[in-house]
Structure 1
Amino acid sequence: MNTITFLLLRLAIGASMFGHGLVRLPKLAGFSGWMVKSFENAMLPKSMIVPFSYALPVAEFVIGTLLLLGLFTKTALIAGGVVMTMLILGTCLIENWEAVPSQLIHVAFFAVLLQFVMNNNEYALDTILFKK
């Protein structure tokens, strides 16, 4: 039963990341412009925000895809946690306190899944491709 629970949680967080990236990729320039405008009064320079704003949707899409497939699951979970931690810091810098709880929930999902990935990732491409 733990493998089914793990699968459902992995698919849920994977779908969230995949969806975030998927809807932003076709409008990448617009998303970047929105993010730059959101950070205009923050202490981060525009030279840091612009590259991050273009990389974020790609990272979300790739991490989500990997989690949905169960491919490189451990690495994808770590990457997801790192991306969300960076988002939390940025969200705090612009004082968007309403968004922080959602981001913390994402980090919690990544951390819990990471704790249990070794023994519960049975329904995944990792298991098929990288048999122990």
Structure 2
Amino acid sequence: NPSQSVRTRRQLESDGEMCMFTLTKNKRDEENTVIRNKSRLVAKGYAQKEGVDFEESFAPVARLEAVRLFIAYAAHKSFTVYQMDVKTTFLYGPPKEEVYVNQPDGFVDPYHPDKVYHLKKDLYGLKQAPRA
């Protein structure tokens, strides 16, 4: 199905097996009434191949030694340390490589069905996403 592939510029001539899909979730209240519908577009990054679809993959996790050193220094200087989690931070950075996405099902422009999208921000599921 050509309307679901995720491709880099090097892949545009070949037929990639990567696809996009939509995750949907209904938020419900105590009475099981739907109060909000949530949806996001996700890439099947597990189908990406290193060296073809992306150059490097990263897991944004601090090493334990670095965390210990930071906490020891903060304790020595009597600094107050706060912890926080920014869940969508990696989606706000521009992708390192050019990534092109075909139009997802349900959102295909009837006048231009063969056009592709150039991603300006990372997409959930891409191997490149955690690097940003």
TM-score bracket, normalised by the shorter chain, equals under 0.3
TM-score under structure 2 length normalisation: 0.24
Larger Rg computed on CA atoms: 2
Structure richer in strand, relative to its length: 2
TM-score under structure 1 length normalisation: 0.24
Structure richer in helix, relative to its length: 1
